[in-house]
Amino acid sequence: MPTLKNFLAGAALAVFGAMPAAAGDGPTTYDYDGSFDDATFAVRNAIIGEGLVIDYVSHVGDMLNRTREDVGGEKLFEAADIFIFCSAVVSREVMEADPMNIAHCPYGIFVTERDGQVQIGYRDYPDGPMEKVEDLLDRIVQDAIEQ
């Protein structure tokens, strides 16, 4: 029987994998002056500080490193996590504007470490009501960077 963790991981893959590669100009990223662990701690605190609940943390970097020899390819990240969550207030607002904005939920903020550089970021969303989601994500990322 599938566990909740497996279900959420599958749901996240379905949602994030089904999204266009670039709804806008590509992901928004910010350099983080600190370690990967410090960045993930700061992101976790910033999300919780907004009164939101983290549904799942996808350890994408671990998966890519674990399967690299099986599928081939180069090492992409030293570490990479995606924090998946939603906001009832913002989600309701953007879905009342267009119910098909459900396709963009849940939201994610990623933390990566590559070649010693840590970055925090999120995907860009279409112009219009989804800009409210980007405002939320940017506020969370800025809070994490300032911690």
What gap in Å lies between CA 111 and CA 123, rounded to an integer? 12
Q: Is residue 85 part of a domain?
A: yes
Q: Is residue 7 part of a domain?
A: no
pLDDT score at 15: 40
Q: Is residue 137 part of a domain?
A: yes
CATH of the domain at 116: 3.30.310.70
Show the domain range for 89: 25-146
Q: Is the model's pLDDT at 7 over the cut of 50?
A: no
Tens-digit pLDDT profile for residues 79-136: 999 999 999 999 999 999 999 999 999 999 999 999 999 999 999 999 999 999 999 9
pLDDT score at 14: 38
pLDDT score at 13: 39
Q: Is residue 106 part of a domain?
A: yes
> What's the total number of domains in the chain?
1
Q: Is residue 5 part of a domain?
A: no
Q: Is residue 80 part of a domain?
A: yes
Q: Is residue 11 part of a domain?
A: no
Please enumerate in sequence order all residues whose Cβ is within 8 A of that of 87, keeping only pairs 6 or more positions apart, or say none: 50, 52, 107, 133, 136
Greater model confidence, 10 or 104? 104
Q: Is residue 13 part of a domain?
A: no
